[in-house]
Amino acid sequence: MSAPDQPKPALARYDLISGIVLALFGAFIAIESWRMPRLEERGIDPWTAPGTVPGVLGVALAILGIVLAIRGRGGLGQPADIVGTGAGRTRFVLALALNLVYALALIGRLPFWLATFLYLTAFMFIFGLEANRPGALMRGLMIVIVAGAATAAVVYLFETLFLVILP
Amino acid sequence: MSTQLGHFLAALSEFMNFMTLVNVLWAVFVGIVIGALPGLTATMGVALLTTLTYTMQPNQAILVLICVYVGAIYGGSRSAILLNIPGTPANAATALDGFPLAQQGRAGFAMGIATTSSAIGTLIGILFLLLLAPPLAEFALKFQSYEFFWLAVFGIVIAGLMCSADDPLKGWIAGVLGLIVAMVGQESVHAYDRFSYGVTDLTGGFNLIPVLVGVFGLAEVLTVMRDPAAVLATTRIDRVVPSFMDLWRYRRTIVRSGLIGTGVGIIPGVGEDIGAWISYAAAKRRSAEAGKFGKGSVEGLTAAETGNNAAIPGAIIPVLTLAVPGSAPAAVLLAAMFIHGIRPGPLIMQEAPQFVYGTVIMLLLATLAMAFLGLLLARPLLYVLRVPRHIMMPIVFVLCVIGPYAISQRLFDVWVMVAFGLIGFVLREMKYPMAPLVLGVILGDILDKNLRRALTLSDGDLTPFFTRPISVLLWVTTLLLILGSIPGVRRMFARVWQRSPA
């Protein structure tokens, strides 16, 4: 888990917004459930229609969302920053971007070992720059070796040893 | 009695081979490493290894998973003590006293206490598993659809309540969201497509593993990368193995924590982390040295680590007898059992009683290996913790991508993982507990199916839901729990109690 570095400011504003969002979502679910066919033509008991449980859940969520929003209505002050500030935010955005590119764009389009190797190298390189250590070329080489070894290990472990099919 | 013994011996014979030994050792080791690394939780570990052991024989596969489970819940104490970062949420209470002890130069001692406490805690839990599972399964045979419906509702309510004690509302929202997630796809009673909007991949609904790996994997990776890097408290390790006196002094705390941990584990959805916290709080309240808690109290450390490990067998009890998970990692274990063709539930004592005893044996083996490896590898594991996160985290994410794909070979599952990783991250930042969400995803189907089956059985009549004896117990308890958490109701009761003559 994460180190408790900064105190979490009051999340009241997020509660208000998220409460409204959840209430709307709940209402959407309830409405969609209502619109589900009752399947009377099959002669089933109306209570067992497909929309029953989702409908109840949608209503429940809407109610909970409204309660949350009401509770949070007091806090319209400075919103807490969910993704952190300064360096933390940059790291978050970078990590997120790299992960999304890997999982959504590279995987499936490139052979697994290539996609993984590129991702690992890029990630370790970009974040390795953060640590202030001399010898950039050596570090670059080390990263390539580590990334290569990790890729090879993962592929061997999953495909050969455990017979798992890789994307 | 003799048939039970017969089943036990039969189960034992299935595990008396070399493969078992090999699997136990590497699996517990991997579990400890996974637990020790911040960013990887027990749930994630078990989920990833479910995919790895997909092609293994069922007994060995479940053995591996249980070993990883036990290892991880224990392993988290390492980083809690050395880095002040709990390796898994279950070890958050461990950090409170473990880290100060490390700072006082007693890191090795702390780790030794953690190891033995974890082992004893698991053993206490195993004892209860052995004693309670068969009669509970017998009792559960009386459960019909009505009771299972109420059990699902009860599970969500209590999980939401206990997993975020100061804000049950968010716990319940998480639970309901999980239930709604489970509603997507073709429903089982009339084969009607719900919420799939023409997307073929959605007709199967959301698989548990991609959701779990996203919420506990990707979200965790992002959190770790965002937060500042961790710093080791000390690299000096003193004597690791605690003396018998160290443990005997706190024997009452150990037993109490073991009982609390097991009990908390049995409650659906409420798992090792709550087990640790409640044990810790109880120990503090009853301790003669309460002032030392938070400053390096050995008693506090003992309570936390005993409590969280005792919850493991506790969480497995409802898995085996009711097919309802007692905690998030137990939820993955449940899913893995189904994948391997094992059918937990009330009928398990009749269909496969050997499996229940087999589980006991697996837990025993895992505990032994954990104690052995834990004490042996105190210093080497230090090196693991020093691996920089920018090397560890991308590798973890690679595993997060492999995991969902491995089960069904659909890239769709990888996308589900990503989506839930983002959702999970946002929800966690807003202080929503994830355990009720996971429980909701699992219980959604149970809730839906059983409600409708029950209504078909009773011909649309709602009365049996409220009059059948076990149902009464469940819904009344649920109602009391909900009412008890509304501040207005509590105030009203406080006033009533105060007015009545003492």
Q: Do B85 and A1 touch (CB under 8 A)?
A: yes
Q: Do B192 and A158 touch (CB under 8 A)?
A: no
Q: Indicate the residue of A22, A48, A103 with minimum beta-carbon distance to B456.
A: A48
**B75 Cβ neighbours under 8 A, 6+ residues apart:** B31, B32, B33, B34, B35, B36, B87, B88
Q: Do A88 and B187 touch (CB under 8 A)?
A: no
Per residue in A98-147, pLDDT tens?
A: 999 999 888 888 888 888 999 998 998 888 775 555 566 777 788 888 88
CA distances from B209 to B222, B271, B417 (A): 19, 18, 8
Residue B475: half-sphere exposure toward Cβ, Cα within 13 Å: 14
**What is the rounded distance in angstroms from the CA atom of residue A53 to the CA atom of residue A63?**
15
Nearest CA in chain A to B445: A53
Contact present, B114 and B305 (Cβ < 8 Å) = yes
Q: Which residues of chain B have pLDDT under 50?
A: 502
CA distances from B451 to B131, B150, B454, B475 (A): 31, 9, 5, 14
How far B248 CA sits from the closest chain A CA (Å)?
32
Largest Cα–Cα separation, chain A: 77
**Residue A106 token pair:** 């590279």
Q: Do A2 and B409 touch (CB under 8 A)?
A: no
Task: Name the 3-class secondary structure at A84.
Answer: coil
Reported ipTM: 0.85
Strand-strand pairing, B193-194 and B185-186: antiparallel
How far B230 CA sits from the closest chain A CA (Å)?
7
pTM, rounded to two decimals: 0.85
**Residue B249 token pair:** 């002094």
**What is the rounded distance in angstroms from the CA atom of residue B183 to the CA atom of residue B177?**
10
Q: What is the pLDDT of residue B16?
A: 85
pLDDT-above-70 percentage for chain A: 73
CA B496 vs. chain centroid, Å, equals 38
pLDDT-above-70 percentage for chain B: 96
How far A24 CA sits from the closest chain B CA (Å)?
13
Per residue in B426-477, pLDDT tens?
A: 998 888 888 889 889 988 888 888 888 888 888 877 888 888 888 888 889 8
In SS3 terms, B31-72 reads as: HHHHHHCCCCCHHHHHHHHHHHCCCCCHHHHHHHHHHHHHHH
> Nearest CA to B76 among B308, B325, B233?
B308
How far A104 CA sits from the closest chain B CA (Å)?
7
- B56 contact residues in A (CB cutoff 8 A): 162
Per residue in A80-96, pLDDT tens?
A: 566 667 778 888 888 99
CA A97 vs. chain centroid, Å, equals 12
Per residue in A25-74, pLDDT tens?
A: 999 999 988 888 877 666 666 777 788 888 889 999 999 999 888 887 76
Q: What is the pLDDT of residue A2?
A: 38
Binding-face residues of A in 77-96 toward B, CB within 8 A: 82-84, 87-89, 91-92, 94-96
